[in-house]
Amino acid sequence: MGRLNVNLCGIELDNPIIPASGTFGFGYEFAELYDINCLGTFSFKGTTRDPRFGNPTPRIAECTAGMINAVGLQNPGVEKVIAEELPKMRQVFHKSVMANVSGFSVEDYAYTVEKLNACPEIGWFEVNVSCPNVHGGGMSFGTSPAAAAEVTRAVRRVTDKPLLIKLSPNVTDIVAIAKACEDAGADGISLINTLLGMRIDLRTKRPVIANKMGGFSGSAIFPVAVRMVYQVANAVKIPVVGMGGVTTAEDVIEMMLAGATAVQVGAANLVNPYACRDIIRDLPAVMDKYGIETLKSIIGGCK
C-alpha cells in the first residue's frame, strides 16, 4: 500500500481526498478537466426521493473567506439519478462512489437508500440528516439524537453497505448526536455540514439570498470543523470523515490529526475546480516536511 492509502469502513482508498456532495455534481463535469480517478472517491450530489427544483433565486451570497448557499437540494430525484446520472458517471469514474442521500421523512430516506442500494458503483451511503423533518414540525433530524438515530436505524434496515451519517454543526452537543447514530448502526460519521449564515444588502436593506439564511462554508469555518471532528473522533469507535473549510494539503493533515480517516473538500472546488487534484499532488511533500511516513499513522494523532 502507498503512503496515502486509508481504509474507510472496510474499503481501501488510494488517498483520503473526497470532493464533498453538492460541490462536484456527479463527477463528469470535472472529468472534462482532469482524470478524477486520482481521487479517493467522491460524494455525489445530494439525492432525494422525488425531483426538487430547489429554493428560489438568488441562492448564493459571497462572504469573507467563504460563501452562503441555499440551493435547496436541487436534484432530478432518485429514479433519474439511477437511470441517467449514474451511467454517465460510470464512464469517467471507475472506483466505488459515495451516495449522498437526503429526505424529508424517515420513509423518504429509507426509500431512496433502498433504491440506490442495488447500484454496484455505490460503495458507501452518506445520509444527510440536516434536512427539515416535515412530520416533526420542521426541525432538522440532525438536531436531535433520537431523530438522527431513527433515520440511522431505518436506513440500516435496507442496506448492508457502509453507512455514514452526515451531521449538522448547528447543534449544542455534536457528540451526543454522533454517539446516538453509532448506537443505531452507523458505520461512520461525516462532519461538519454548513453553519447557518446570513448576509444583508446595504442598498436594499434586504437579505442577499431569497431564502434569507443559508449554509455558510469556506475556509472561515475550518477551526470549527477541526474542533468538532476532534470531539467526535474521541467519543466514537467508528471512522470520522472530516470536512469544512479544507483548502490545502496542510488542512488535510490537520483534520486527520484531529481524528478524520478521510477528508472532504467542498467550497474550494467552486473556487478552483482543480482543488482536489492539487491537494493530492501536494500531500507527499507536506508529509515529508512534517516527517510523516503514512497518512494512516497520523489519524487521531493529536492528543
Q: How confident is the model at residue 131, as a pLDDT?
A: 77
Q: Under a CB-based contact definition with an 8 Å cutoff, are residues 166 and 130 in contact?
A: yes
Give catalytic status of residue 131 as yes or no: yes
Domain spans, the chain: 6-298
Q: How confident is the model at residue 194, as a pLDDT?
A: 94
Q: Under a CB-based contact definition with an 8 Å cutoff, are residues 116 and 122 in contact?
A: yes
| C-alpha to C-alpha distance for 130 and 140, rounded to whole angstroms | 5
* Torsion 238-188-28-245 (CA) sign: negative
Q: How confident is the model at residue 259, as a pLDDT?
A: 98
Q: How confident is the model at residue 130, as a pLDDT?
A: 85
Residue 197: strand, helix, or coil: strand
Question: Tell me, what amino acid is at 12?
Answer: E
Distances in Å between the Cα of 167 and the Cα atoms of 25, 136, 194, 240 are: 20, 18, 9, 11
CA atoms within 13 A on the CB side of 271: 19
Of 131, 181, 276, 302, which is the active-site residue? 131
pTM score, two decimals?
0.96
Q: Under a CB-based contact definition with an 8 Å cutoff, are residues 43 and 100 in contact?
A: yes
Spatial CA neighbour of 192 closest among 60, 72, 20, 25: 20
| Distance of alpha carbon 272 from the chain centroid | 18
Q: Is 293 exposed, middle or buried (0-12, 13-18, 19+ CB in 10 A)?
A: exposed
| Distance of alpha carbon 17 from the chain centroid | 11
- Diameter of the chain measured on Cα atoms: 57
Q: Under a CB-based contact definition with an 8 Å cutoff, are residues 124 and 96 in contact?
A: yes
Spatial CA neighbour of 226 closest among 257, 201, 195: 257
Q: Which residue has the cell 424517515?
A: 106
Q: How confident is the model at residue 134, as a pLDDT?
A: 67
Q: Could you list the mean pLDDT of each consecutive 10-residue stretch along the chain, which spans 303 residues?
A: 94 98 96 98 97 91 93 94 97 98 95 98 96 71 95 98 96 97 98 95 96 94 98 98 98 98 97 98 98 98 92
Distances in Å between the Cα of 29 and the Cα atoms of 25, 46, 117, 125, 126 are: 7, 16, 24, 22, 21
Q: Among the CATH numbers 3.30.70.1110, 3.20.20.70, 3.20.20.80, 1.10.287.470, which is that of 6-298?
A: 3.20.20.70
Q: How confident is the model at residue 41, as a pLDDT?
A: 98
* Torsion 205-198-56-89 (CA) sign: positive
Q: How confident is the model at residue 303, as a pLDDT?
A: 84
